[in-house]
Amino acid sequence: MRRTFPARRAPEAQSISELRHLARRRLPGFVFEYVEGGAEDEVTLRRNREAFEGLALVPRALRDVAQVDGRTRLFEEELSLPLVVAPTGGNGLLHSNGDLAIAKAARSLGIPFSQSTASNARIEDIAGLDGLRHWFQLYVFRDRSIVDGIIDRAAAAGVEALILTVDANVFGNREWDRRNYAKPSVPRLSRKLETLRHPRWMRDVLMPGLPSLEVIQDFLPEDKRSLNAATSWSRDQMDPSLSWRDLDRIRGRWKGRLIVKGLLSPEDAVRARDAGADGIVLSNHGGRQLDGAVSPMQTIGKTRDMVGPDMVVLLDGGVRRGSDIAKAVAMGADAVLAGRAILYGLAAGGEAGAAHAIAILKEELLRVLALLGCRSVAELNSGFSPIAARAVT
């Protein structure tokens, strides 16, 4: 990549790719790989980018774009742009109080924050941020009483939407995971020694003590509360018998908005809608689960056609530019989720870095809309469908 004078600090970064570059320098190798990695040969991880890059935008000329509006509405509330923070576990490994930092950044830029079951913050601590749109992502454990307990806590804390993740109950084959760790959360000696080259990370994350899995902490046996023991415990607890019956059960217990994340087939999207889900996230888990799986950008068109115009359809995987958001919305998504793009910002510069990542995406989206001759997010859906970049029309 041609970059003669790269940014040295997060606020100087011009793009998500530059934030990634800073994150790579700031984080120990095993932590960067945790953020970056996909499953097996990372075909799906690459496909997520290729699906965006393979689409070409067709701008319309002479349309007066002096006023361009990036706002949209999701579940009857306004978003400053069609973007939601994806749930990611272990944010506290990237920066101290990583969840709180991203949540504050999301609040300041007017987009929802999704907190993971594997978060390093308590649900109540995130819920305490006045004015934040707080979504919570649920993993289904073997012990359903724990699942019920987490749902009830999310409800009591006033969480707006529950995201049920359905694509990770069989753990993907992440080879780097086994390569880097002697056992879950215990890096091999050579990886530990490499952290010495990252003194800021050591001061910020390691010295205060590695963060625990705060959401599930109260449900863990006494001897399973360290990060390492809790991570092993939760992997063992992932229940491969997860089925549509669980969705019915959870729909019965959770009275708020329910979003099913991790679908890729349009038929499953219809089934989720018929089971009472308010929304879905088309997702391949950022290429971390089934390698070879399709990218959500390949199934969004058919999914939108099949579920109809009213259901909230979100997608994620590979969002790195404002133009990606525009393409997803033009193809039928209501909004996108971003995982790594925001994590790079967090790792590079804490709350300000995460906010900078969101601001970059927002600024890029507004510029793309103007260059397209499109004045609003709503207009994207009428007449701005991208075409296959290789197609000759």
Ligand X SMILES: Cc1cc2nc3c(=O)[nH]c(=O)nc-3n(C[C@H](O)[C@H](O)[C@H](O)COP(=O)(O)O)c2cc1C
Give the catalytic positions in this structure. 285
Cβ distance to ligand X smaller for residue 349 or 373: 349
**Phi then psi for 137, rounded to 5 degrees?**
-100, 135
177, 178, 198, 307 from 193: Cα distances, Å: 17, 17, 10, 51
Q: Which stretch binds ligand X (CB under 6 A): 102-110, 200-208, 217-225, 333-341?
A: 333-341
Q: How far apart are CA 345 and CA 109, in angstroms?
A: 14
Print the binding letters for residues 284-323 with ligand X: x by CB under 6 A, - otherwise. Answer: -xx-----------------------------xxxx----
Chain centroid to Cα 359, Å, comes to 16
In angstroms, what CA-CA distances link 250 with 227, 296, 374?
Answer: 27, 25, 40
Q: Which residue has the tokens 């679908």?
A: 263
Taking residue 7's Cβ as centre, other Cβ atoms within 10 Å add up to: 16
Kindly give, in sequence order, each residue whose CB lies less than 8 Å from that of residue 16, ignoring residues fewer than 6 positions away. Answer: 320, 321, 341, 344, 345, 357, 360, 361
Neighbours of 236 (CB within 10 A): 12
Going from the C-alpha of 60 to that of each of 53, 371, 384, the distances in angstroms are 20, 8, 8
Q: Which is nearer to ligand X, 318 or 373 (CB)?
A: 318
Query: Residue length, the chain?
Result: 393
Q: Does 138 bind ligand X (CB under 6 A)?
A: no
Q: With CB under 6 A as the contact rule, which of the stretches 59-67, 100-108, 283-291, 321-329 interacts with ligand X?
A: 283-291
Q: Could you tell me how many residues of this chain bind ligand X (CB under 6 A)?
A: 23
* Of 76-84, 87-95, 220-228, 291-299: span binding ligand X (CB under 6 A): 87-95
Among 22, 42, 72, 88, binds ligand X (CB under 6 A): 88
CB of 182 to ligand X, least distance (A): 20
Closest contact distance (angstroms) between CB of 125 and ligand X is 17
String of contacts with ligand X for each residue 178-217, x by CB under 6 A:
----------------------------------------
The values of phi and psi at residue 138, to 5°, are: -115, 130
Q: CA–CA separation, 230 vs 238, rounded Å?
A: 12
Judged by CB under 6 A, which of 44, 137, 212, 381 binds ligand X? 137
Which residue number, 112 or 317, has a Cβ lying nearer to ligand X?
317
Residues 236-275 that bind ligand X (CB under 6 A): 261
Please enumerate in sequence order all residues whose Cβ is within 8 A of that of 214, keeping only pairs 6 or more positions apart, or say none: 119, 120, 121, 122, 125
Task: Please tell me the number of Cα atoms within 13 Å of 74 on its side-chain side.
Answer: 30
**Minimum distance from residue 52 beta carbon to ligand X (Å):** 10
Kindly report the CA angle at 125 between 122 and 127, in degrees rounded to 5? 110
Nearer to ligand X among residue 98 and residue 266 (C-beta) = 98
In this chain, which of 13, 19, 23, 35 binds ligand X, going by CB under 6 A?
Answer: 35
Looking at the Cβ atoms of 123 and 338, the one nearer to ligand X is 338
Continuous segment of H or E residues that includes residue 281 = strand 279-282
Q: Could you tell me the two tokens for 193?
A: 């020694």
Binding flags for ligand X, 90-129, as an x/- string (CB under 6 A): --------------------------x-x-----------
Interface pick for ligand X out of 87, 98, 112, 349 (rule CB under 6 A): 87
> Cα(39)–Cα(59) distance, rounded to whole angstroms?
36
Which range, of 84-92, 148-156, 303-311, 385-393, touches ligand X by CB under 6 A? 84-92
Q: Please, are residues 289 and 339 in contact by the beta-carbon 8 Å criterion?
A: no
Query: Nearest distance from residue 260's CB to ligand X, in Å?
Result: 11
* Closest CB to ligand X among residues 191, 261: 261
Q: How far is the CB of 236 from ligand X (least distance, A)?
A: 16
Q: From the CB of 357, what's the least distance to ligand X, in Å?
A: 11
Binding site for ligand X (CB under 6 A): 34-35, 48, 86-89, 116, 118, 137, 165, 261, 283, 285-286, 316-319, 338-341
